[in-house]
Amino acid sequence: MGLKELHKEYLEYLEIERGRSLKTVENYDRYLKRFFGFAKISSASEIDDEILRKYRLDLNRGGLKKRTQNYYLIALRNFLKYLAWRGIGSLSPERILLAKAPERDLDLISVEELDRLFKSPEGDGIKSLRDRTMLELLFSTGLRVSELASLDRDSVDLKKDEFSVRGKGEKVRVVFLSPSAKEAIKKYLDKREDVSEALFINYKPHAKEALRLTPRSIERIIKFYAIKAGISKKVTPHVLRHMFATDLLTNGADLRSVQALLGHSSITTTQIYTHVTDKALRDIHKAFHGKRRQ
């Protein structure tokens, strides 16, 4: 079977059997197309160490960051794993070692800046109530912006302090509501007069129907309030997800619990937050260690 057909079947396998999102499948398609376009081969058996070496050089010289290079390599490695699973001879997936990438910097804002951000949507108009609810919900649950945008009114049961959300890879996890998030949702829903099933909708004058807010719209709204709050750093829904995780860790939560709350499939992804707890431990060490020797 030719590589073109195997490529097509692998993407179908990701979508149907592995339950990956269409966005993930599109990304894998793009990553693999780059490799096939570079290698100019027609069969899986032609993938060898020399082609891999030249491909890595091409990625590195193409101006891509190490982390981005790894996305391309991971896609190829997973494709090779798929070939091995099907019993199709090719390069062993273990031959692909990832590039050493620098540790990712977390985009964080201070607690004071966070407080100013929450206070930015002023008044009790429907837009302000909606926007305050979005901010509270993002910080209370650590939701991804796509997960927030897809929520329906009946997703959130105010009789409970928790609800289920379907995240990446169609995985369902439970998230929890803080008292302030719960109160914000109640005030917002009490003010709603439309019949849209979406939890967050766009209020445009003269619109014939209420449309669900898109992730991009939510990002723009949060950027607006960050500027209004006088925050010079770039603030996105993902920054609030970071703040959610670091808040838990600095208050004593363990990494495995934070992994479950964020919906990370691998603890490795959650480990980007360990420097936060490391700093907290460093502060404790500095404050309490060796005092009798001074």
Question: Given 56, 86, 116, 168, which residue is catalytic?
Answer: 168
Which residue type sits at 220? R
104 is catalytic: no
> How many C-beta atoms surround the C-beta of residue 133 within 10 A?
22
Q: What is the pLDDT of residue 145?
A: 94
Residue in 183, 175, 180, 184 with CA at minimum distance from that of residue 248: 175
Say yes or no to pLDDT of 229 above 90.
Answer: yes
- What is the tens place of the pLDDT at every residue in 23-77? 889 999 999 999 999 999 989 999 999 999 999 999 999 888 888 999 999 999 9
* pLDDT at 204 exceeding the cut of 90: no
* CB-based burial label for 163 (10 Å; 0-12, 13-18, 19+): middle
Count of Cβ atoms closer than 10 Å to residue 196 Cβ: 15
**Residue 79, burial from CB neighbour count under 10 angstroms (0-12, 13-18, 19+):** buried
pLDDT of res. 28: 95
pLDDT over 90 percentage in the chain: 59
pLDDT at 294: 55
Greater pLDDT, 61 or 287: 61
Active-site option among 225, 273, 282, 285: 273
* Annotation says 61 is catalytic: no
Active-site residue, selected from the candidate residues 7, 130, 241, 242? 241
Dihedral, CA atoms, 214, 166, 189, 162, nearest 10 degrees? -150
Asked if 273 is an active-site residue, the reply is: yes
In DSSP terms, 164 is beta-bridged to: 174
Active site residue 66: no
Pick the catalytic residue: 34, 186, 192, 238? Answer: 238
Percent of the chain exceeding pLDDT 70 equals 91
What is the mean pLDDT of the segment spanning 94-119? 83
Domains and CATH numbers, the chain: 3-95 (1.10.150.130), 111-283 (1.10.443.10)
Give tens-digit pLDDT for 146-183. Answer: 999 999 999 898 888 899 998 887 788 999 999 999 99
- Whole-model pTM: value is 0.68
The DSSP bridge pattern shows strands 201-202 and 211-212 to be: antiparallel
What pLDDT is stored for residue 205 in this prediction?
Answer: 67
Average pLDDT over the chain, rounded to an integer: 88
Give the pLDDT of residue 282.
Answer: 65
Annotated catalytic residue within 144, 188, 225, 242: 144
Q: Is 286 a catalytic residue?
A: no
**Is residue 86 annotated as part of the catalytic site, yes or no?**
no
